[in-house]
Structure 1
């Protein structure tokens, strides 16, 4: 199982160093590198999350510790790579999955990548059962299993998502793109706009492109999602 990754470092030499080690490591594929966290965030919002973000700490404008909270929804694992030992406590306060020192020791890098690959395989084996969603918790390396049939809809907020269930609301730092990957191929869910996924069996009424759910919450179908929505309606309607 390959892991996709991105590198964020304001120094070209730092980016090159990490890219060189990635290139020599089996099972790791570099998607794109960035010299600041803002450009990376815009890219992930447009193209979806990656498995790993390698993040420098000492950067101008916004440092890695501050950026971590914004970037967490767009990766499964966040790894700090820095020349400074003293940021360790802050790094783990923001739920980092690893802390590597520059210059990189290849043996330490390989050991960590092997650990993360095993964790991803374990998560994937659970997620194959589409009766449940395994979602990221508020603490490092914590996950919650959510019964899929109990979900009404899923909404993306600023830097997290909320999963609305018949028995309450779950909040997770996972991005909507990560949830989409888990739900891929599951006909029970339909994305109807950029920030909303609904459970189709929890729809109460449809009025044009306005969808009212069983709890009376209503959503408007986004323009780029109208074709898929129309296809769904035609497929399910008794008299389309």
Structure 2
């Protein structure tokens, strides 16, 4: 069996030292090949529209002319796997909106870099339907503490009380999850699986590998999309039958 072809990687970072560091990481990785490296997003955009090869895009956020988040919106389809690389964790919510593959904070550890690349190059096994969370799921001490519909979650270095009746859905973002309400998005460390195991509310249901929804806030289900306020959440096939049963039982 022939080894898989290396992934074409493009780097965009206006800082020469950071760009060189990423170039070295790409050259060191046996599943990557460096297709191009740019100090400017405008120059890179020209490359993309000309049909330049790219499977993985390592993208800085804070750059002149066009920042990384703006560039993601301008990328031609089909878009490459985008890994944001930045000095600030505060852009994670905006990254969540753009559905980037991963979010690395500088200085980038090579092991963490390889972990991000593995999400591109290693096929993921099929996801089996997740069982509905039990009503009395144990809660991890000093992390989540339930009283009625409230939980305390760790976000931005503090414990914040959140009324989960206000939470529309929970989405996975790399090593974080985002709790989405009508007005706010709260970033919480941990995986979607760990959050699912700690939720003591039966009406929060897994509908996709990346989403848990609050059934009390579902307005409609159409074409495998759940409408919750101004948001739409996809429903994957393994979860459809159970979801419909749960909705009809409300």
* Normalised TM-score (structure 2): 0.46
Q: Which has the higher helix share?
A: 1
